[in-house]
Structure 1
């Protein structure tokens, strides 16, 4: 069975995730920052002399992309430029549909964020979206290797004191879902940045509005998935 067929099969039979914690991605998952991100990277490409650069590699760290696109002598310059451009451009960033209600339904000690943003960039974008900083958040500058490495999710689970196998990773990008699978977490993909057939996850949804949360005192989180 192919990965995509496997994802579709699980979607059709999806009911409830039984987990102890939820590990969210930030950009494209909790906040809509795609337009701002693409504006910054387009301008960056022009400034760096990369003709016609179009940013499509969402979910990777800026350092990873710089290393792929720029020769070593100019990488420090390139990273400094994109860092500044992204921090300065937060116009239009907002929370995605369903986020306020979903986060309010999960006890604060039972969720956190694992992001490919640096701490400074995450703070700027979350402030623009009106999203509070959770305890135990993991940013790109706190890990050695970013997504698709599982390092960030494993660190978040340790900080929450939770077995990664009892965590649900919620992501909008292939790199993040790959990291979640490699960490042995349960995975849920959210379309928008990428189409459903690009997201290899246990379940794929179109919106976080489709999720419900219930919990008995002291018991696990039951994350339900509703049809659209």
Structure 2
């Protein structure tokens, strides 16, 4: 397939970033520098740069007086259980909402099929090295002591499964459904990705059960697909 000139420039610059020739955090070349190097018009260079910005490889602040920089490539991690355990000191989980829902109308349809109010709703934004990599919405059924669980989750660095265990509920099984797609406008906003980004996301529905088969949690997650390695093990 024949490439346009801007596509050739895009691929060359992309390769330099991925090979580390253009290092994470360093200033990205100006359009004038790129026009001279590639003997290209301003619009051609800008098309190539815009593609890198949409892919998340180049960061361009909305304030155009600031220089563009090479983005830090996301650190890939194997997902396991509690977020803080996965990411250590570089990971942060920010609580956006934590409240008990009393009305069915407040619940997504997928939750209405599994739980009845009152339900504890726990909405978080997860970051690693200050990059937003996931947004979660957890729902806990009323078989749990919701007020006590809410109190535990309101503490700094609270972890869901440790909190459940402290209340005498022991999660043993996790079932997940994954669907991959490009980020929607609302995903781009929530994950604070570049405008018009073409970065893929993975939508995960997690269901957690105890040894009796009782449902303890449903978590609806949207994860940046370029930040995770999804690894599972199951019986055949």
Coarse TM-score class (shorter-chain normalised)? under 0.3
Q: Which gives a bigger RCO, structure 1 or 2 (Cα 8 Å, sep 6+)?
A: 1
- TM-score between both structures, scaled by the size of structure 1: 0.25
More helix by share: 1
Structure having the higher strand fraction is 2
Q: Larger radius of gyration, structure 1 or 2?
A: 2
